[in-house]
Every structure is written in structure tokens, then in C-alpha cells.
Amino acid sequence: MSGEPIPVLWLCGPPGVGKSEVGWEIYAELGRAGVAAGYVDVDQVGICYPEPASDPGRHLMQARNVGAVVAGYRAAGARCVVVSGVVDTARGVHVDRIADQIPGAALTVCRLRVGQDELRRRLLGRTGSTVVMADAPRDAEAMDASGIGDVCVDTSGLSVTEVARRVRERAGGWPSPAAPATDPLPAPSPAPSPAPGLAPAEGSVLWLCGATGVGKSTVGFTLFQRALAAGHTAAYLDLDQIGCCAPAPADDPGNHRLKARNLAAVWQTYRAAGARCLVVVGQAEDECAIRTYADAPAPATVTVCRLHAGREELVRRILSRGLGGSWAQPGDPLKGRPTARLLQVADAAAADAEALERAALGDLCVATDGHTVEEVADAVAAAVAAACRLRSSSSF
């Protein structure tokens, strides 16, 4: 497969049309069929502000990071990759420019659309949506007028599963020719060296880890927003969102090698955009996992801060997340799950939290029981400053 283009299916369309849900469904279908595949949500690899004046909307930044993640997935054995996210032709970002950022890919762009009334209903039902309702119909009309995409699928009145089926049919049975069933996967190749002409730069990386439900994402994003408010060019990254590639190798079930490779590549793009601080959130079950990432974001000062919570707090948060009351992420394994299953996850999370506590994992540890997100963010910032890990460049 090394000399052949890797099939990449990019689902685009206006906010609320269902890009992430449909993209994840196709990725899950491929996994159930035994096809080694990857998935990446464009929004998750473009959280870097202020945006460069030369790239309003950060669309080229996102495409460059998609290209890096696709390369990582391919090196890990993926036979095809599903991408979901906006393609903004209104700002002059055309598909051919995006394709240039994903070398070695056979790119198929599928535009999803929906009627105006249903689009409004979907947006009203989205928890935590930041889309301005008045803008959504205009954006949808602009995309319809653009005619962007190799194929177009109307999602009106259809379930996610039905849309996924139609997308693959309209795209010629994508991936076509059929991607082979999984073989033993090779380890990802080392992260690429910095591009010629990219001068080394110091940076600060704060990695929040901890058990499921401990609050990594919500606290991490709060610290990222504080860095922006303080006038820093900052970035945010969820490790899970650059490691959606299955099956994972038997000797690395957490996909840490792959995530470390992709972290290095994405951080390089963010540094080129001016970022000097990065908030990373993600699991690390032991010191071996942390060492896998040790050199990934170089050159940078890396501080690993573990968040801790007891079982009662974890149960409360995981049950809330099951109801969609927490940080939204593509393919959230907890959203919509029955209570019995969520309680099993909480028991496992509590056991993990205790194991991490006994191992004293991380440079710092902050307890989150009974505290608000803002209070935990305050405690993390104080702990980082007290430890002098980020020295005078502290942005958190």
C-alpha cells in the first residue's frame, strides 16, 4: 500500500448538518468490517489563536494538520481515513489548496446539506453550540451555491446510519477499491523533523492527565482561554482526537506512539503560526506512556499535571457526561450509554485514579473533588507557577 494513494473521505457542510456524527459512523462501520481506518475532526486540529492574518479561519492550518495526522495514521497501518469539517470557499480556500496539504491522498469531498428548517432545529438541540443562529442559514445557502464537493448528500429526515450509507454509495462504495482487511500493523514511523527554515523556538506545554471523568478537557480548555485572554498565542489539543486509528497495535493499546508522532507534527504547525504555549489533555496510564511523549513537542518545556478525583465525584461526572452534559467530543464512548454501563466506567475510573495516585504519576497533582472548573484551573495555574516548570514564560 505504501506506493498507492490512501483514500481520504472529507465530509463538509454547514454547522449542524451532522459532519462529525456521520464521519464517526463511517469510521465505526469500517472498524466493524475489519478495515484498518482513521478518523480526524478538522475542528480538533485547528484550535490555535489568534489566527494568522494570512489564514483567516485557520482553514489552511487545519488542512496542514489533517495532512500530518493522515500521514501518521498511514504509518500506523490505516488503509483509509475519514475527515469531517468545514471547507470555507467564501474565504478563498478551495479544495485543490486543501488537497495540496494532504500529499499521497486520494481525496473525495462529500458535501452534506439539509433544509433550512431542519438545520435550525438541529442547532437549537445542540448542547453548548457556539454557532450564531442567524449565520447558519446564510452559511448553508453559500455552500449550496458553491457546489463544492465531488458528491452531495441531503441529510433531511435521515438517521446518521442512513446518511453514512448514502455517502458511501454516492462516493462509489468508498473506500474504492475496497480497502483490505487489517494486517498486523507496523509501529508508526518517527515524527518528522522540523521543516527547513522553521527556526527552533522555546515553548510551554502543559499536559493534563488523569482518570476518565476527572475533568481534563474542561479544565484544559479553561486554561487555554486564560492564556488567550493574557495576550498569548496559544493552542489546545486533545490527544484522543489525533489517535482515532483502529485497531491499535497489541503492544500499544493506548496508541501512544501514534499520538506522540501526531502531537509533534501538529505542534510544529502551531509553532509556525506563532504559538508558544500548548495545553494538551489525554490519558497516561503509567510512566512508560509519558516517556513515549517525552521528546514529541520539542523544543518545549513540558509539565505533566495529573488531576485526581474520588469515586463519588467520578460517578457524578460520568453520569452527567452520559446525558451529554459535559465536554462534547466526536465519538464520545459515554454519551447516551445506559446507567449500568456508566457506573461500570465510573468504577474502572476510580480504580485507575487510585492506581495513578499510588504511582504519583506526573510532575504535579491537583485534587478536583468538590471544586468548580474555575477553582481547579486556579489550582493548576498556581501549582505550575510554584513548581517553576514554565519559568518566566508561564502562560497559564
List the CATH number of the domain containing 357: 3.40.50.300
- List, for residues 79-122, the tens digit of each pLDDT value: 999 999 987 655 545 677 788 889 999 999 999 999 888 888 88
pLDDT-based confidence at residue 126 (cuts at 50, 70, 90): low
Has residue 178 got a pLDDT over 50?
no
Do 158 and 283 fall within a single domain?
Answer: no
Cell numbers for 175, please give them: 473506500
pTM: 0.88
Given a contact cutoff of 8 angstroms between Cβ atoms, the answer to whether 91 and 56 are in contact is yes
CA distance 188 to 192: 11
pLDDT-based confidence at residue 149 (cuts at 50, 70, 90): confident
Cell numbers for 247, please give them: 485497531
pLDDT-based confidence at residue 190 (cuts at 50, 70, 90): very low
Number of domains composing the chain: 2
Mean pLDDT value across residues 148-172: 95
The rounded mean pLDDT for the chain is 86
CA distance 137 to 149: 19
Please report whether residue 179 resides in a domain: no
Please report whether residue 319 resides in a domain: yes
- List, for residues 30-88, the tens digit of each pLDDT value: 999 999 999 999 999 999 999 999 888 898 899 999 999 999 999 999 999 999 998 76
Do 14 and 123 fall within a single domain?
Answer: yes
Domain boundary among 171, 191, 215: 171
Report helix, strand and coil shares of the chain as percent, to nearest 5: 45, 15, 40
Do 225 and 142 fall within a single domain?
Answer: no
Residues 6+ apart with CB under 8 A from 386: none
**What pLDDT score was predicted for residue 325?**
65
Residues 6+ apart with CB under 8 A from 342: 318, 319, 321, 322, 334
Do 120 and 241 fall within a single domain?
Answer: no
Do 275 and 379 fall within a single domain?
Answer: yes
CA distance 255 to 251: 9
pLDDT-based confidence at residue 203 (cuts at 50, 70, 90): confident
**What pLDDT score was predicted for residue 371?**
95
13-22, 173-182, 340-349: lowest mean pLDDT where?
Answer: 173-182
Has residue 128 got a pLDDT over 60?
no
**What pLDDT score was predicted for residue 389?**
47
Do 298 and 151 fall within a single domain?
Answer: no
Please report whether residue 30 resides in a domain: yes
| Residue positions counted in the chain | 396
Do 167 and 208 fall within a single domain?
Answer: no
Please report whether residue 103 resides in a domain: yes
CA distance 56 to 358: 47
Structural domain of 242: 204-394
Sole residue written with cell 470555507: 88
**What pLDDT score was predicted for residue 282?**
96
Mean pLDDT value across residues 280-306: 88
Do 287 and 380 fall within a single domain?
Answer: yes
CA distance 366 to 376: 7
Do 152 and 223 fall within a single domain?
Answer: no
Please report whether residue 188 resides in a domain: no
**What pLDDT score was predicted for residue 133?**
59
Instruction: Determine the residue type at 356.
Output: L
Given a contact cutoff of 8 angstroms between Cβ atoms, the answer to whether 23 and 153 are in contact is no
Domain boundary among 156, 171, 186: 171
Please report whether residue 42 resides in a domain: yes
CA distance 101 to 272: 15
**What pLDDT score was predicted for residue 236?**
98
Of residues 365 and 192, more confidence is placed in 365
Of 78, 65, 38, nearest in space to 243 by CA: 38
% the chain with pLDDT above 70: 84
**What pLDDT score was predicted for residue 147?**
77
Do 167 and 216 fall within a single domain?
Answer: no
Please report whether residue 208 resides in a domain: yes
- List, for residues 223-242, the tens digit of each pLDDT value: 999 999 999 999 999 999 99
Write the DSSP assignment of 76-118 as a string of letters. Answer: TT-SEEEEE----GGGT--HHHHHHTSTTEEEEEEEEE--HHH
| Per-residue DSSP letter, 181 | B
Of 384, 371, 130, nearest in space to 279 by CA: 384
Please report whether residue 193 resides in a domain: no
Q: What is residue 234's three-state secondary structure?
A: strand
Do 240 and 371 fall within a single domain?
Answer: yes
Do 152 and 226 fall within a single domain?
Answer: no
CA distance 169 to 160: 14
Domain boundary among 125, 156, 171: 171
